[in-house]
Amino acid sequence: MRDEILAMLKELRPEHDYAGSGDFIADELLDSFDIISLVDMLEEKYGIEMDVEDIIPDHFRTVECIADTVTKYLKGNR
């Protein structure tokens, strides 16, 4: 899943080095529009529908944070 998420991020913003960042928000690699676009990509790829309450910066700071949020939906633990 990590590689798939990194590929989505690179599709959104190919100029950024997501693999070298420890915090996408603090490093200004993702803005609110990017997060919404990424949510759409994640929902389509994984067949999930994220709740608005989960679309917060803390869930998009790292690949691991994003993967944890997606995994929660895949397991049905919303």
pLDDT at residue 54 above 80? yes
Determine the structural domain holding residue 48 and report its residue range: 2-11+23-74
Q: Tell me, what's the pLDDT at 16?
A: 95
| Domains identified in the chain, total number | 1
Give the model's pLDDT for residue 58.
95
The sign of the torsion formed by the CA atoms of 11, 13, 18, 19 equals positive
* Whole-number average pLDDT of the chain: 94
Quote the pTM value. 0.91
Instruction: Please report whether residue 17 resides in a domain.
Output: no
Give residue 6's region: left, alpha or beta (phi > 0; psi -120 to 50).
Answer: alpha
User: For the segment 25-50, what is each residue's pLDDT rounded down to a tens digit?
Assistant: 999 999 999 999 999 999 999 999 99
Does pLDDT of 53 surpass 90?
A: yes
Mean pLDDT of 45-59: 95
